[in-house]
Amino acid sequence: MKRSVQTAGLGLVLGLGLVPVAGEAMAQSCTQKIGAVLPISVDWGRPIAETAKFVVEQVNSAGGVAGCNIELVLRDDQTDPKVGVDAAKALVDIDQVPVLLGSVSSGVSMPILTSVTVPGKVMQMSCCSSSTAFTKLAEQGKTEGLWFRTFATSRVQAAVGAMVARDKGYKSVAILYKNDDWGQDIGKIVAANLEKLGIKVTAQVALNDAQPSYRAEVTEALAGQPDAVYLALYPTEGTAAVREWLSLGGTQNMILTNSLKSDDFRKNVGIEYLGNAVGTDTASPRTPSAEAFVTRYVEKFGSQPNGPGLANSYDATMIALLAMQAAGKDAKGPQIAAMVAKVTDPKGTPVTADAAGFAEAAKILAGGGTVLYQGATGNVKFDANGDVSAPAVVWSFTNEGTKEDTYIPLEEVDAFVASMK
């Protein structure tokens, strides 16, 4: 995965954690701010932020939202819940944004949702948080209809991880997971799926942030001599844990979540040790709209959108801005959230996910119509809890980055998930 072109636009301002983004069309007489809390200080987080900025540029070139230029105020959460909450509070209290994009980590998005956006009546749209805890919260009415995500829940990756273990013939698997909302969630689900397939789970071990060593945790996971290890970790602790794992004689048979689809992880562990490692991720459907996103992305950044969450970031940003357009000038979070259904209406007029599509959508919405947004992840459709479903892929590392090994259609994913319940 090439990062140099993707990250070129951030430069020194990343150190401040604040990036105002101006669009190409500056003729508008007003400006509307939206906020984003994303992990721009990590290698896979920066392209997610750049993708959101790209959407804002296109929307501004199409005339902005309700006649106003959009300014994206971007803050770094450093994948730290406290930092993320503080950043979100500043965006809501000081910048008074009606919409907040973010975050990536479920462990950061959850406290932002419960302590900042819901109390502040701000719509929150995440590209990448997958914990099923959000679904439970929505079912209880505690998100107040303000929460949406364009990334499928952890059930998809957990299902595909179990599929991989089954197809490779592993009889036993140890699980190492990050000790946060996301890691606990996906670790529990994949363990249940593996056991339903008759695969023994020899250990489920949580890893905390910023420990000087993970030797004790890795030793515990190795005790059962598993055929493979499932890693639901981020690159920093993932690198440290895998180094310990290999140094203590652990197998190179690894199943990775998409959070380890990272240049830093690949380089710091060493490609020579990752030959038997396979990863899982959600995927865009094989549709013209998804292919069009790839073309636009390559034209903009000069490389393929191979990193995690890029298509999801694109759609999260575009849908949020379309909902703002539908809600009208000076609309508040609840009004904007109520318009999401109007811009993702299966019976609406199809619109493309670019500047021309946004301009067309604005005209249709102004005339009282609805639109069907056809985006980077296909025709996005949210359920009552703000969730989506998605196809999946199995991937592996190469010397240059990653490659797709297997594409699993939505119908097959949904059928397997249903069979695990």
Q: Which of 108, 228, 124 is nearest to 173 (CA)?
A: 228
Note the Cα 297 to chain centre separation in Å. 17
| Amino acid type, 204 | Q
Within 10 A of 348 (CB to CB), how many other CB atoms are there?
A: 18
How distant, in Å, are the alpha carbons of 70, 78, 95 from that of 329? 12, 32, 16
Give residue limits of the domains in the chain: 11-151+291-379, 154-275+391-420
Residue with tokens 């309700």: 66
CA–CA dist 223, 344 (Å, integer): 49
Match domain 11-151+291-379 to its CATH number in 3.40.50.2300, 2.60.40.1080, 3.40.50.620, 2.130.10.10.
3.40.50.2300
Residue-level pLDDT, tens digit, the chain, 421 residues: 333 333 333 333 333 344 444 444 444 689 999 999 999 998 889 999 999 999 999 999 999 999 999 999 999 999 999 999 999 999 999 999 999 999 999 999 999 999 999 999 999 999 999 999 999 999 999 999 999 999 999 999 999 999 999 999 999 999 999 999 899 999 999 999 999 999 999 999 999 988 989 999 999 999 999 999 999 999 999 999 999 999 999 999 999 999 999 999 999 999 999 999 999 999 989 999 999 999 999 999 999 998 889 999 999 999 999 999 999 999 999 999 999 999 999 999 999 999 999 999 999 999 999 999 999 999 999 999 999 989 999 999 999 999 999 999 999 999 999 999 8
SS (H, E, C) 174-215: EEEEECCHHHHHHHHHHHHHHHHCCCEEEEEEEECCCCCCCH
Helices (H), 249-399: 263-269, 288-301, 310-327, 333-338, 340-343, 355-366
Note the Cα 224 to chain centre separation in Å. 33
Q: What is the pLDDT of residue 48?
A: 97
Provide φ and ψ at 380, rounded to 5°: -70, 130
Please measure the distance between the N-terminal and C-terminal CA atoms of the chain and give it in whole angstroms.
36
3-state helix, strand, coil in the chain (%, to 5): 45, 20, 35
Q: What is the pLDDT of residue 19?
A: 44
CA–CA dist 174, 205 (Å, integer): 8
Q: What is the pLDDT of residue 154?
A: 94
Q: What is the pLDDT of residue 213?
A: 94
- For 154-275+391-420, give the CATH class: alpha beta
Note the Cα 346 to chain centre separation in Å. 23
Length of the chain: 421
CA–CA dist 48, 157 (Å, integer): 19
The angle, 0 to 180 degrees and rounded to 10, between the axes of the packed helices 310-327 and 355-366 is 30
Q: What is the pLDDT of residue 28?
A: 64
Q: What is the pLDDT of residue 43?
A: 87
CA–CA dist 102, 301 (Å, integer): 22
